[in-house]
Amino acid sequence: MSLNFDPSYALEFDFGRGQIRMANASERVIVPSDALLALCRGASEDAVRDFGRRLGTEAGRVMNDRLGEAWQASLETVLEHLGGELALMGLGSLGLERWGQALVLSFSHSPLGAEGDLLLGSILEGAMQRSFGRDTVAIKLMRDDQKVRFLLAGHAGARKAGNWLAEGVPWGDILSRLTTRGAS
């Protein structure tokens, strides 16, 4: 199992055929980010979620191929490899935060902006499903100019967090409440 993510020759540009391929993956198409956003704006929420999960599933599959046994990988290893695969897609820089027992993943410098948060969350959900076989819900806790944080929780925790977000509870308090009640 490789501990370090090596992006060398990750992308292969076949000019003769006019194709772009990733290592151990299928062909890729480079599309403008604004065109992708326009497509997401025109599509329904379910369609965007399905599209994002397919992207995350592909990233999780590649990560599993690299890591071999992903369920034994540490936090750093998963972050490095999953983040590397998403970076190759051009979706931004993946980050990992542990708030007690809560797992928070973040994207920085995403070209999609705030309009692409639903897509990013769906990608994470697909990657968790493909890599670790867990059904997760990515709840967007906060968003600023450069970073967006997602809480990976189950359906129960996601529902509560969603309610608290709707009530205006700060995302830090939400994590504290979830951790306290979960611990108790």
Restricted to residues 110-149, the positions that interact with other proteins (CB under 8 A) are 128, 132, 134, 136
Residue closer to other proteins (CB basis): 82 or 112? 82
In terms of residues, how long is the chain?
184
- Rounded CA-CA distance 11/181 in Å is 46
- Which one among 62, 112, 120, 152 touches other proteins, defined by CB under 8 A? 152
- Rounded CA-CA distance 104/102 in Å is 6
- Rounded CA-CA distance 39/33 in Å is 10
Cβ(5)–Cβ(66) below 8 Å: yes
- Rounded CA-CA distance 44/71 in Å is 33
- Which one among 10, 36, 103, 165 touches other proteins, defined by CB under 8 A? 103
Residue closer to other proteins (CB basis): 26 or 74? 74
Cβ 34 to other proteins, closest distance in Å? Answer: 33
Cβ 9 to other proteins, closest distance in Å? Answer: 26
Size of the site for other proteins (CB under 8 A): 32
Cβ 135 to other proteins, closest distance in Å? Answer: 8
Q: Look at the block and give the residue holding tokens 């819900």.
A: 137
Residue closer to other proteins (CB basis): 31 or 75? 75
- Rounded CA-CA distance 130/116 in Å is 21
- Rounded CA-CA distance 60/126 in Å is 7
19 binds other proteins (CB under 8 A): no
94 binds other proteins (CB under 8 A): no
- Which one among 72, 144, 145, 166 touches other proteins, defined by CB under 8 A? 72
Residue closer to other proteins (CB basis): 40 or 128? 128
CB neighbour class for 151 (10 Å; exposed up to 12, middle 13-18, buried from 19):
buried
* Binding residues for other proteins (CB under 8 A): 70-75, 77-79, 98, 100-103, 128, 132, 134, 136, 151-154, 156-161, 178-179, 181-182
